[in-house]
Amino acid sequence: MSAALLDHYQTLAATAPKAHAYQAVGQRRLSLVELPNRKQEAWRYTPLAPVLDYQFAAASREDGLLEPEDVAALRVTPADHVCIVLLNGFFMPELSSLPAQTGLEVLDLEQALQTSATGIERLGRLSGECLHLFGAVNAALTGAGVYLRVTEKLVQPLELIHINYSFDSEVLSNPRVLVQVEAQASLTLIEQHAPFADVLGMHNGVTEIFLSEGAELLHPRLQNDSLRTRHLSSLYVQQAASSVYKNTSLALGSAWSRTEFHLDFSGGHAHCELNGFYLAGEQQMQSMHLDVLHSVPDCSSRESFKGILYGQGKAVFDGNILVKKDAQKTDARLSNDNLLLSRDAEIDTKPRLEIYADDVQCSHGTTVGQIDPEMLFYLRARGIPKAAATSMICQGFAAELIAHYEYPALETKALSILQERLAPVAANL
């Protein structure tokens, strides 16, 4: 089976249109790579059948499938803001809102590659030799996606909506998002993965973010894919001196989801904040993987992840922070807190700090708990029925994290999805 699957992806790679030299890196990797398996540390607790039991076919651009009104219903930003729609990974100008904005370039990735847009040569520099099969597939199929370059401090947030929707089953979306925030420039990038149809497919996205000196990127993300979607997001971030990156990622949807954060500092006094929340219910697996590398001195990072699990939901938290010998004065705090609502739910949590410098402030902590009976009694004593009280405690647990979005319309949307998912669960506890 494994040989057939590798053959399948190698054939996809060989027949893909060639747009960029980086595709060769992916193709080469595909001929060497092993299938992800549970003997590998990075996949140790991750069930793999949901993604390895299928031979996903590469998506192609489909025009006329959706109308702008379909997108309007999903948006959280006002209509006059820039909103980019990627349909099955492909940039769709007719579904996007692209008002001209000084200090911002938005290009279809294919077009950026063809015209050798400024900075596009960075593509692949962070994802490099590709960590695994799906990274290699993404690289080998490079073409779909979007390139963003920011040269000023932008006040208006930019919205990026991924929609996976096709009449075919087992389609693989394969976007690459490349973001370049130039020195002293700043951007809020609101990213949504929105459900559209309950089709079994896979999202295999790679995002590379380059923050130049003093640049700032706020990056709230909401993954609410349909419950049959397989979702893999690999995020690579490189931060130059004094830059700030703040990512808040919610994983609520999809049957199988993995979010990888690969973060690297290249200059001092940079700060990064990664916040994550996952909700895993029946037939769901959510996983969060962090690789934060402190290789230069004087940088700080905060990693705060929370999850709620119910039914037979499963989640994996694998948080690694590596502080290299020269990274003195590093300040890193990692936490992972989990709320389990059922006996059958499972969390595998593995926070890890590896420190080779001697003058650092680092900490990590993990909790796994259930609904606090004191809290439940307090709410019930105030007349709130047990189910509503349970739901309220869960909402509160998540709300603390969701507040990091710093964008009320997205917070409201996330909380209402959560409420809708948790209310029936709480009623049956």
Partner 1 sequence: MLSIKDLHASINGKEILKGLSLEMGAGEVHAIMGPNGSGKSTLSKVLAGREEYEVTSGTVTYKGENLLDMSPEERAHQGIFMAFQYPVELPGVNNTYFMQASLNAIRKARGEPELNSLNFMKLVRTKLKALEMNEALLKRSVNTGFSGGEMKRNEILQMILLEPSLAILDETDSGLDIDALKMVSMGVNSLRSPERSMLVITHYQRLLDYIQPDYVHVLSGGRIIRSGDKSLALELEEKGYGWLQEEAAA
Residues in touch with partner 1 (CB under 8 A): 372-375, 377-386, 388-389, 392-393, 395-400, 403
Looking at beta carbons only, is 229 or 248 nearer to partner 1? 248
Smallest gap from residue 339 Cβ to partner 1 (A): 11
Looking at beta carbons only, is 78 or 385 nearer to partner 1? 385
Smallest gap from residue 393 Cβ to partner 1 (A): 7
Looking at beta carbons only, is 59 or 309 nearer to partner 1? 309
Smallest gap from residue 380 Cβ to partner 1 (A): 4
Smallest gap from residue 428 Cβ to partner 1 (A): 17
Smallest gap from residue 197 Cβ to partner 1 (A): 33
Output the 3-class SS for the chain.
Answer: CHHHHHHHHHHHHHHCCCCCCHHHHHHHHHHHCCCCCCCCHHHCCCCCHHHHCCCCEECCCCCCCCCHHHHHCCCCCCCCCCEEEEECCEECHHHCECCCCCCEEEEEHHHHHHCCCCCHHHCCCCCCCCCCHHHHHHHHCECEEEEEEECCECCCCEEEEEECCCCCCCEEECCEEEEEECCCCEEEEEEEEECCCCCCEEEEEEEEEEECCCCEEEEEEEECCCCCCEEEEEEEEEECCCCEEEEEEEECCCCEEEEEEEEEECCCCCEEEEEEEEEECCCCEEEEEEEEEECCCCCEEEEEEEEEECCCCEEEEEEEEEECCCCCCCEEEEEEEEEECCCCCEEEEEEEEEECCCCCEEEEEEEEECCCHHHHHHHHHCCCCHHHHHHHHHHHHHHHHHHHHCCHHHHHHHHHHHHHHHHHHHHCC
Looking at beta carbons only, is 146 or 398 nearer to partner 1? 398
Looking at beta carbons only, is 117 or 399 nearer to partner 1? 399
Looking at beta carbons only, is 146 or 418 nearer to partner 1? 418
Smallest gap from residue 336 Cβ to partner 1 (A): 16
